[in-house]
């Protein structure tokens, strides 16, 4: 990583594509480093309005309620 940051190493196209696919990054950002990031983007992952609402509501819960919600979501994922 330090060699990348110091421009001592240039990754191959295969490496850039692998990073893009594994981390859902923008190719333009990986190559040029200048892709604009919107306020609803976290680590280059687009966040839908419904997800933002869920996060906002979740943060207002107690730890016990958060744990209960997480357990419920896990149950729903296993069922489908």
Q: Which of 3-17, 31-45, 62-76 shows the lowest per-residue confidence on average (mean pLDDT)?
A: 31-45
Cβ-contact 69, 60 below 8 angstroms: no
Lowest-pLDDT choice from 4-13, 31-40, 47-56: 31-40
67 pLDDT band, cuts 50/70/90, is very high
pLDDT at 70: 92
Half-sphere exposure of 34 (CA within 13 A, CB side): 1
Q: What is the pLDDT of residue 62?
A: 94
Q: Report the pLDDT averaged over residues 13-42.
A: 72
């Amino acid at each position: 990583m330090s060699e990348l940051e110091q421009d001592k190493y240039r990754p191959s196209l295969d490496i850039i594509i692998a990073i893009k696919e594994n981390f859902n990054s923008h190719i333009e950002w990986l190559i040029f480093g200048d892709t604009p990031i919107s306020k609803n983007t976290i680590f280059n992952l687009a966040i839908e309005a419904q997800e933002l609402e869920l996060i906002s509501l979740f943060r207002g819960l107690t730890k016990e309620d958060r744990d209960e919600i997480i357990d419920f979501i896990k149950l729903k994922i296993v069922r489908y």
